[in-house]
Structure 1
Amino acid sequence: MRSFTDQRVRDFDAYELDGTRLWRVNLGTHVRSGSHHDSFQVYDYDGDGTAEMSVRTSDGSKDSAGTVIGSATASHLAEDCAVLSGPGFLSVFNGRTGRVMDSVPSNPPWSAAGSSTATRRPTWARCASAPRRAPPSSGCRP
């Protein structure tokens, strides 16, 4: 069974409790939609009193200000919309502004995790760790 994406936009929105939208992050077309494909985490990683959001991103993902993660022009979609190649990242976004704070390449790289069936190991188990006397961190295991 092949794993597919499509041309739909994948957005994460942040809202105030009164319904006012604060920001929107666009994951682009190279990250499949679904609860176990774009698992995200909200946690105060930097200890400033406001939570950040971490989520898997790829070429063409955009933060709330339009900053592109990876390549803005790359296309990794096959003719049938399967994603067979391309980089993946773990990105952290500022909880107040939706601006990207940092992105690191996924490990293992998606190209190493993929297969001819285009699964690209689409599911990530997520966790946060806050050991004593150490800053918290986000972890994921494909």
Structure 2
Amino acid sequence: MLDREDRRLLTILQVEGRISMVELARRANMSETTCLRRVRSLEAAGVITGYGAEISRAATEFAVSAFIQVSLDQRIEAASDVFKTAIEQEPWVLECYSVAGSYDHLLKVVAPDNQALAQFVLKRLATYESVRDFQTVFVLVTVKEERALPLSGTGR
């Protein structure tokens, strides 16, 4: 269970992953030693899973985003396992979720352009033996894309 101090540290670290330990301790209103011990404890417990730079997609070649809903052929034994293993190897697939509903998986995919995305869908995804059906939803405008969890407990 996360206590109030852990949540305070995590809230700051989610937004400012490169903050110095001195500044983190100051902003969290705790000693540097306590702050460092708590952060290391959160890392060791797997609460903090890593640190990384957020990269603007507009500044890279990945201008197109899409969500792809995928249905698997349940007659194929281990269809889900085979699909998951294949998807883990696809660099354009940023996220993959097993979901309930009319589709089995939801993918978040990026590509350089619409033609490249079409090639990925038709020449790669559609050729997986376990894929029965899929639907692609193109992102027109990203309205909100938040990565930080609402740890302050003000989740309206």
Structure number with greater Rg is 2
Indicate the structure with greater helix content. Answer: 2
Same fold (TM over 0.5): no
Indicate the structure with greater strand content. Answer: 1
Q: TM-score, with normalisation over the residues of structure 1?
A: 0.28
Question: Which of the pair has the greater relative contact order for Cα pairs under 8 Å at 6+ separation?
Answer: 2
